[in-house]
A = this chain, B = another copy of it.
C-alpha cells in the first residue's frame, strides 16, 4: 500500500472530531484492514457503566471505512451507506479495539466487516460484529 494512502487516511482520521472526543486512535493501517482503539472513558458509557453501543459503532464504522479506503484510488473517498451491528457481549473493561477489513472491493460498492473487542486485564472479549457497505466517491 503506497504511503500516500496511509497519509490520506491519517489526515482524514485526524479531522474526525468525534474520534478526538472519544480519544480514539488509529493504530494500524494495512492493505484492506485497519485497527482503531478507544478507551472506555467515564464519559463513553451506557447506564450500566459498560461501553455505549454508540462508541462501539463509531470506531467499528471508522475502522471499516478506512479499510475500504486502502483499496481506493488516491482521489477517492468512501461514505458509509449502511452498517449492521450485532452486539455479542457487554463492552466491559478499559479499552475497545475495532478491527475493520474489506470483504469485497469494487468500483461502485465496498463490502466491509468490523469486529470489536473489549479488553479487560489483558483479555479480549468479542463484543460486536458489524457488516456494511461503503460507497466510493471521487473527491471534488
Contacts and interface: CB of A to CB of B under 8 A. Distances in A.
Interface residues of A, number: 47
Contacts of A86: 81-82, 103, 111, 131, 133
A94 to B, nearest CB: 15
Contact of A47 (B15, B47, B85, B103): B15
Interface string A1-38: 00000000000110111101110000000000000000
A125 to B, nearest CB: 10
User: Is the contact region of chain A dominated by helix, strand, or loop, or is it mixed?
Assistant: mixed
A72 interface: no
A111 B135 contact: no
Interface string A123-140: 000100101010100000
Given A45-B18, A135-B109, A88 B61 contact: no
Given A43-B20, A52-B58, A133-B133, A84 B81 contact: no
Interface of A: 12-13, 15-18, 20-22, 41-47, 52-55, 57-59, 61-62, 79-89, 103-104, 108-109, 111, 113, 126, 129, 131, 133, 135
Given A16-B46, A17-B42, 12 more contacts: A12-B47, A15-B47, A55-B58, A79-B87, A82-B87, A84-B131, A86-B103, A86-B133, A108-B135, A111-B129, A129-B131, A131-B131
